[in-house]
A and B are shown apart, each in its own frame.
Chain A
Amino acid sequence: MSAELNLPARQPRQESMARFLKSHMRDYGMLISLLAIVAFFQYVTNGTLLQPLNLTNLVLQNSYIVIMALGMLLVIVAGHIDLSVGSIVGFIGALAAILMVQFHWHFIPTAIVSLIAGAAIGAAQGYWVAYFRIPSFIVTLAGMLVFRGLSLALLAGQSVGPFPVEFQRLSSGFIPDPFGPLAGTAGFHLTTLLLCLVTPAVMIGLSVATRIRRHRFAIEQEPLPLFLLKSAGLFAVVAYLGWLLASYKGLPNVLIIMALLVGLYAFVTRDTTIGRRIYALGGNEKAAKLSGIDTRRLSFYTFVNMGVLAALAGLIFAARLNTATPKAGVSFELDVIAACFIGGASASGGVGRVTGAVIGAFIMGVMNNGMSILGIGIDWQQVIKGLVLLAAVCFDVYNKGKA
C-alpha cells in the first residue's frame, strides 16, 4: 500500500544527544540552574552556604515548602490553585498547640487529629471547587481569609507554646546513629553518610534496571553518556551533602519525611493510573470525562491531599518555632505556588513534574538563605525572587514557542 510507502520519510531518526538535550532542555536547565545558584552563593558567601550548620538550616527552613509544593503541584496540574495553604499552616499549628499545651494531649493523637483536620479543610474547599464548579481561586481565597481568622481566634491573638520535646523532634530532631558508636567515629554521624551512599546507589540501580528493560522493548531513552553523567553527578552530590550533614548532627528527621514524600509523589504522578488521570484532567477536562474518568472526584481528592500536606507542614513549622503564632504561615502559599511554576508547571494545567517543583522550592530556598547570609534586606529579596519567577516562566513560554 502506498500509505506505507509514505512512512519511511517520517520514520524517527536515531535521536542524537543534542536533540535529546534540546527536547529535555527544561528538565536539565532546572537542575543546572539550581547547581549554578548554589555555586554562586557558595562563592559570594565565602563558603558559608554549604557549611554543615547552614546546610542543616537550609533543609529545615525549606522542608515545609517542599512538602506543600508536592500537593500544590497536583492541584496545579489538575488545573486549579490553592491560596489557602499558608492559612492552613497557621490554623493547624494553632490547633495542635491548643491540643498539646492547653489540653495536654500526647503529640501522636494531636498529629493524627491535625492531619484529619487538614483533610477536612481540603475536602470542604474541594467540594465547592469540584462539585459546584466554583473557581478554585475564589474558594481558596475565601479559605485563606477564613482559616487565618480562625487561627487568630483559636489563639486569641497570643502565641502558644512551648511544645513537648517529642513533638519538637519532628522538626529539630536528627536520626539516631546506631553505626557511629560501633565504628567509634565520635562527632561524625556515620549512619547519615551510609544512608547517603546507599540511597543514591539504590536509585541508580533501579534506573539501570529500567534502562535494561526499556532497551529490551526497544524504547528510546536518555543517551547513555548523559545517563552516566547524571548518575555520577547524583551520587557525588548526595554523598557530598551526606558527608557535610554527617559532620554536623546528621540527617534531620524532617529530611527523611520529605525525601519519602518526594519519592512517593514522584511515583504516584509518573507511574500510577491516578497520577495519569490527574494530568489528563488538567490537560483536557472534557476529554478526560468522556474517557470515563470521574473528574469531579479527582479534583476533590487533589484538594483533600493538599489539605493533609498543608497540615503536615503546619505541624513541622510549629515544631520548628516551638510555638504557634497567629502569623505562622503568612504568604507561604506564594512560595509554594512559585516553586511549582519555577519548576515548570503550567498555569493552565496538565503540565508539571514533582522533581521540578522540588527543585523550584530549593531554588527559592537557596536564594532566600543565600541572600540572608549576604545581609540583603527582605525588601530586595522579594524583588529578586519575583524576577526569578518571572524569568523562569518566560523561559518556559519562549521554549515552548520555539518547539
Chain B
Amino acid sequence: MDSILEMRGISKTFPGVKALDDVNLSVREGEIHALIGENGAGKSTLMKVLSGVYPQGSFDGEIRFRGQPVAFRGIADSEKLGIIIIHQELALVPLLSITENLFLGNEQARRGVIDWTAATAKARELLRMVGLSDPPDTLITDIGVGKQQLVEIAKALSKQVRLLILDEPTASLNESDSDALLALLLRFKEQGISSILISHKLNEIAKVADRVTILRDGSTVETLDCHDGPISQDRIIKGMVGRDLADRYPKREVRPGEILFEVKGWSADHPIHPGRRVVKDIDLHVRRGEVVGIAGLMGAGRTEFAMSLFGRSWGRNIRGNAYLGGREIDVSTIRRAMDGGLAYATEDRKHYGLVLDNDIRHNVTLANLDGVARRGVIHHEREIEVANDFRRRLRIRCSSVFQETVNLSGGNQQKVVLSKWLFADPQVLILDEPTRGIDVGAKYEIYSIVNQLVAEGRGVILISSELPELLGVADRIYVMNEGAIVAEMPAAEASQEKIMHAIMSSAAGGTATREYLQ
C-alpha cells in the first residue's frame, strides 16, 4: 500500500522545551491511523506541524503528502491539499446556522452574494453523508456536542478531504454518539479517505484503527500494525507510559464508615426554561471513605445536579435538603456550600476550573486564600510552599509553580484543579468527569489521589461517562437518567450491561435513547 503521508525526522523546539524530537509518522492510503501518547507527548504539536499551524521553517524534518514534498505556510495551504484537522475544541460559531457554519470562509457565493438555495441543498447533502437529519438552518447552539462534532466532519467533507485528522473526537461524546462517529470513520475509509485519530480511549482504537503510532515525550516509540494480530490494551499502555501498568485502577481497601453526606429530595429547574424540571427529586448518600459513582448518558442531569447542589451555581427553583454528618447544611451560595464541607471540581476545567492566565500557584490557592493569608494579607512564601507541596504530591509536571496554567497539558491542568480543591479541605468532593481528555498515566495518578482522599475518611462523588472507570473506582453506583436516579447498585455487582439496562428500562429511558439515536 502507498503512503498518503510521510513525516520524517520532525523536530520542533519551543523556548526551553524540545516538544518533538525526530518523530516519524507514515499514514497509508485509506487507513485509520491512531496516534496515541500521554498528554504532553507531542501529539497536538505534531498535528500542528502537519496542518501548517507551525509553518515550514519553524521545525526541522520533511513532510511528503501523496509522494510530493510539501511546505505549508499556514492552514490554508494544508487544507488546499485536503488535510483537514478537527480540533478538540470545536471551531463552530454557536449563533450561526449549520449551513452558515459549514460554508464559513468557503461560502456558496457569486461575487460575494450568497446563493442560499445552493448552500442549503449542498448542506443537506453533506449532513446526509454524516448521518445528521437536523434541518440545515438549525443554530449550532441548539444541537448537542455529538451533533456539532458531525457538523465539523461535514465541513471537512465539503473541502474535499483526503486526510482527516480528529483530535480526541469522542472526548465529550456519550457511548452511542461515539459509536456513530467511529462507524462514520470506517465508512470514510471505504471511500478511500484516510484518517488520523488521536484518542485516549483504547477500546475505540482497538475497534477501528489499522495501525497505531505511539508517541512518548516527543519521540516516536513504535508503530504497531493491528492486522498482525490483536494488540492488547496493556501493550499500548506499556508503550505510552514506558512501564507496565499492573492495574489501571489502583487498589484500595474499602471500609466505608457512617453516613457522611446525604441529599434528600433535590430538584432543580432549567435556568432559562422555567418549569422544565432537569433534576428530579434526588436522594443519595455518601459514607465516610466511600467513592460513590453517578453513571448516566450525556444530558442525564448529573452535572446539573452537582452544580445546583454546589451553591446553586446552576438552575433555578432549587429545592431539597443537604446533610453533613446528620446535620443540615446551608448550600445556598458557593461560599456556604464550601463552608459546609463541599467542593465541586468542574468537568470544564478551562472555562470553569482555572484562571488560565494565572500561574499554578495562584490557581491552587484560589478557593482557600485565607489558608495562606492572615487578616487578608497574603503570605507569599507560604503560598509558594503550598503550591510546591501539591506539585510534588500530585506530580504536576511543570517548569515551576510560576508557570501559567494555560501552558499545561490537560492532565496537569486537572491536577491543578484538584490541588485547588484539596487545599480547600472539603469533607465531600464532587468530581465531574475528572479524567476527561487525559492520558492513562495521569488517570492512574488521579485515581490514586481519590483513593488517598477516601482513606482520610472523606467522601467522593464521581460523575463519569466512562463506565469502566466508574466500575473500577467507585464502591457504589447511582444511575441517573432524565434527571432522576433510576438505579443504585454496589460496584461489585455492577457491570456495563447492568447500568445500560437500568438506563434503557427506566420509564423515560426509551424516549431518551430514541432522541440520541435520531
Interface residues in chain A, defined as those with a beta carbon under 8 Å from any beta carbon in chain B: 2-4, 6-7, 9-13, 213-214, 217, 219-220, 271-274, 276-277, 279-280, 283-284, 286-294, 350-351
Contact = CB atoms under 8 A, between A and B. Distances in A.
B395 A4 contact: yes
Contacts of B310: 290
A276 B369 contact: yes
Given A2-B242, A283-B356, A271 B335 contact: no
Given A10-B397, A289-B334, A350-B357, A219 B381 contact: yes
B351 A284 contact: yes
20 contacts: A3-B441, A6-B397, A10-B17, A13-B16, A220-B400, A273-B373, A273-B376, A274-B376, A276-B366, A276-B369, A277-B369, A280-B362, A283-B357, A284-B351, A284-B356, A287-B351, A287-B355, A289-B334, A291-B366, A292-B311
B132 interface: no
A283 B358 contact: yes
Given A3-B395, A10-B398, A10-B399, A271 B338 contact: no
B367 interface: yes
A217 B380 CA distance: 10
B230 to A, nearest CB: 26
Q: Could you say which of B311, B313, B378 has the most chain A C-beta atoms within 10 Å of its C-beta?
A: B378
A276 B362 contact: yes
Interface of B: 16-17, 217, 241-243, 310-311, 313, 333-335, 338, 344, 346, 351-358, 362, 366-367, 369-370, 373, 376-378, 380-381, 384-385, 395, 397-400, 402, 420, 424, 441, 445
A290 B399 contact: no
Contacts of B217: 6, 9
Nearest to A273: B369
B384 A283 contact: no
A283 B353 CA distance: 11
B125 to A, nearest CB: 39
Contacts of A7: 397
Nearest to A295: B334
B21 to A, nearest CB: 11
B414 to A, nearest CB: 14
Contacts of B334: 289-292
**Pairs A-B, 6 closest by C-beta atoms:** A283-B355, A291-B367, A273-B369, A284-B355, A217-B381, A291-B366
Contacts of B335: 292, 294
Given A6-B397, A284-B355, A350-B355, A214 B381 contact: yes
A293 B351 CA distance: 16
A290 B445 contact: no
Nearest to B421: A291
Contacts of A3: 241, 395, 441, 445
Given A3-B395, A3-B445, A217 B376 contact: no
Contact of B352 (A2, A220, A277, A286): A286
